[in-house]
Amino acid sequence: MDKNLIINLTASIKEALKKLDETSEKVLFVVDENNILLGTITDGDIRRYILKTGTIEGTIESIYHRKPIYATENLSKEEIKKLIFENRVELLPILDREKKVVGYYRWTDFYDSNKKEILEKKLKDIPVVIMAGGKGTRLDPFTRVLPKPLLPVKDKTITEMIIDLFKKFGVKKFYLTLNYKGKVIESYFNSIEKDYEIEFIWEEEFLGTAGSLHLLKDFIDTDLFVSNCDIMLNTNYNDVYEYHKKMNASFTTITSIQHYKVPYGVVYTRQGGFIEKIEEKPEHTFQINTGVYLLNKEALDYITLNKYIDMPQLISKLIENKETVLAYPIKEKDYIDLGQWDEYKKAIKILEDLDNV
C-alpha cells in the first residue's frame, strides 16, 4: 500500500498538495487516527477551495468527500470492476473488516483502452498563441545553434509537445510569434505533416513577453490562450476556459503551487539587531506564474503597437483599470519548465515517468 495515498483528517491543505505531488495519482484516502477510511480528497477539491477562499491555508477537514466509494476484501475482481465502472472512480480503496485501507485499484487496471482520458473538444474555436520569438539565453550555448522552440523532447520538438497538449481539447488554430532564428522555426513547421492550422506572426524587434500580441488584434475575435514556448502543463484546459468565462475574466494566468524549503535557519530580528527568533529550515508554499495565460480579446487593447511590454506589466495595467484578473492554480508536478538545462533534464525524466503510468 502506497503511504503517499493516505492522509490524516487533521492534515493541512499544504500537506495534501505535497502528497499529491509525491504520487502520480489524483486522489488521496482520508483516514482518522486509527487509519479507518473517512473519505477522499482530490486535486480538484483543493483547487476549488483555493479559488473560493484565495488562500492555501487551512485543513482538509472542510473539503474532503465524506461518502467514499470503496470495496471490501471479499469482493471479486468482476465486482470491483463493476464498482469502478458504474461510479467512474479513478482510484477505488480496498478495506478490511475494520474499514482500514489495505489496498486499491485504479480505473486503468481494468480499462486499458481508456488510459488516455477522452476529453470534450470544447476549445475548437479558441486559438493558441505560442511566444516563440525569444533568444533562449537560459539554454545558451545550445540556442546559438538551434532556436528554443525546436528543443527536442523525445521524438518531437517542445513546441509540438505544447501543441499536442492543446489539441486534446479541440484546438485547431495556432499562432507562433517569431523573431530570433524565426526562419528556421518557420521552415521546420512548413516541412512537417500537420493536422492543425499554424500561422506565423513576425515581430521586427523584441517586444517582450506580451508586446507581439498586439499584432494579432486583427486576426482574433475570441478569447485566446497564450503560452511560452518552453512550458508544458498537465492540466484540463477545458476547466480553465470554463472558469475564465464563468467569472467574466479579462485575464487568467495559470499558476503552479510550489513548495520551497529554505536550507538554512532563518533569523528574525528587530531594531537594534536583537534576535526575536530563529526558524530552522522553514518551508514555504506559494503560487508562481507558469507562463500560460487565457485572455479575452479586449485585453489586447492595453498593448501598444510595437512597444515593449512583458506579461507582468500587462497584468498590472489590467488590475489598475479594474479588469478582472484571475489565478487558476495547478499542482507543482503538473508544471514542467524546459527553459534551463537543469529543469530540462528533470522534465525529460518526468515525461518518461508519465508514459509509464
115-138 pLDDT, tens per residue?
445 567 899 999 999 998 776 666
- Given this model, what pLDDT does residue 113 score? 45
Q: Please state at what angle helix 13-22 crosses helix 43-53, rounded to 10 degrees.
A: 140
Q: Collect all residues with Cβ–Cβ distance below 8 Å to 259 and sequence separation of at least 6.
A: 14, 17, 18, 21, 283, 284, 285, 332
Spatial distance between the Cα atoms of 222 and 205, rounded to a whole number of angstroms: 26
**305, pLDDT greater than 80:** yes
Whether 114 has a pLDDT exceeding 50, the answer reads no
Q: How confident is the model at residue 218 (pLDDT cuts 50, 70, 90)?
A: confident
Q: What is the pTM of this model?
A: 0.84
Q: 3-class DSSP state for residue 32?
A: coil
Task: Identify the residue with better confidence: 356 or 155.
Answer: 155
- First and final C-alpha spacing in the chain: 17
When mean pLDDT is compared across 58-62, 164-168, 231-235, 346-350, the lowest value belongs to: 346-350
Across the range 307-332, mean pLDDT stands at 95
Contact yes or no for 169/119 (Cβ under 8 A):
yes
Which ranges in 231-340 belong to alpha helices (H)?
237-246, 311-320
pLDDT, position 166: 96
260's grid cell: 520551497
pLDDT in tens, 82-109: 888 888 888 899 999 999 999 999 887 8
- Using the predicted structure, report yes or no on whether residue 357 has a pLDDT greater than 50: no
Domains (range + CATH), the chain: 3-114 (3.10.580.10), 128-355 (3.90.550.10)
Residue 204 C-alpha cell reads as 521586427
CA distance linking residue 47 with residue 41, whole number of Å? 11
Taking 60 as the threshold, does the pLDDT of residue 4 lie above it? yes
Percent of all residues in the chain with a pLDDT value above 90, rounded to a whole number: 59
Q: In which band, very low, low, confident or very high, does the pLDDT at 173 lie, cut at 50, 70 and 90?
A: very high
Which pLDDT value is given to residue 153?
Answer: 79
Q: Does residue 302 surpass a pLDDT of 90?
A: yes
Q: How high is the mean pLDDT of the chain?
A: 88
Residue 140: pLDDT band (50, 70, 90) is low
The closest alpha carbon to 246, from 311, 328, 322, 312, belongs to 328
